[in-house]
Amino acid sequence: MAVQLSLGSNVGVRGRNLEAALAALGQLPETSLTRRSRVYETEPYGVREQPGFLNMAVEIETGLHPLELLEAIKAIEGRLGRRQAQRWGPREIDIDIVLWDDLILDTDTLTVPHPDFRQRAFVLIPLSEIAPEAVDPVTGRTVAQLAAQPGLQGQVLRLDTGD
């Protein structure tokens, strides 16, 4: 199953945090990293008084079930230093499941597609680079269409290298 993820970091050596997360994702059972976007510098979302983020999108193929993948992602985040803290606050690493083929899932712990991705430039711009034709099964719109809509939240600047 093709799964698109959004990754972000604004604490520590942000580029290294992203690379460590990619390496850990690639080591998950029944999982391979198939695409990755460039890295983007993005303004903070929600809590504005914090350092800027580096964000990117990746696509994986996995045989894991959604809740198994979520559990594995939470373990990766914990190993890389993420602690439960303020919502939308600073974090060493954040990994969100955005799309999972045509899956629509809503549980107490996981909602797919990600409930807020349709308005967030820091998710849609990197995602449109690697999966422009991926379809949001809720709206029927492609990632490219969603990324082109006016009024997306957050400024995004593509970087050639991370820090």
Annotation marks residue 94 as catalytic: yes
Q: Which strand (E) or helix (H) includes residue 143? A: helix 143-147
Q: Is 52 left (phi over 0), alpha (psi -120 to 50) or beta?
A: beta
Cis peptide before 113 (omega within 30 of 0): yes
Which residue's structure tokens are 């606050």?
89
Tell me which amino acid residue 152 is.
L
As a whole number of angstroms, the distance between CA 54 and CA 37 comes to 12
| Identified catalytic residue from 96, 118, 120, 136 | 96
From the candidates 94, 118, 120, 136, which is the catalytic residue? 94
Residue type, 34: T
Selecting among 35, 36, 87, 91, the annotated active-site residue is: 91
Q: Which of 16, 48, 79, 82 is catalytic?
A: 82
- HSE of 96, CA atoms in CB hemisphere, 13 A: 22
101 has catalytic annotation: no
Please tell me the distance from the alpha carbon of residue 86 to that of residue 106, in angstroms, as a whole number: 23
The residues assigned a catalytic role are 82, 91, 94, 96
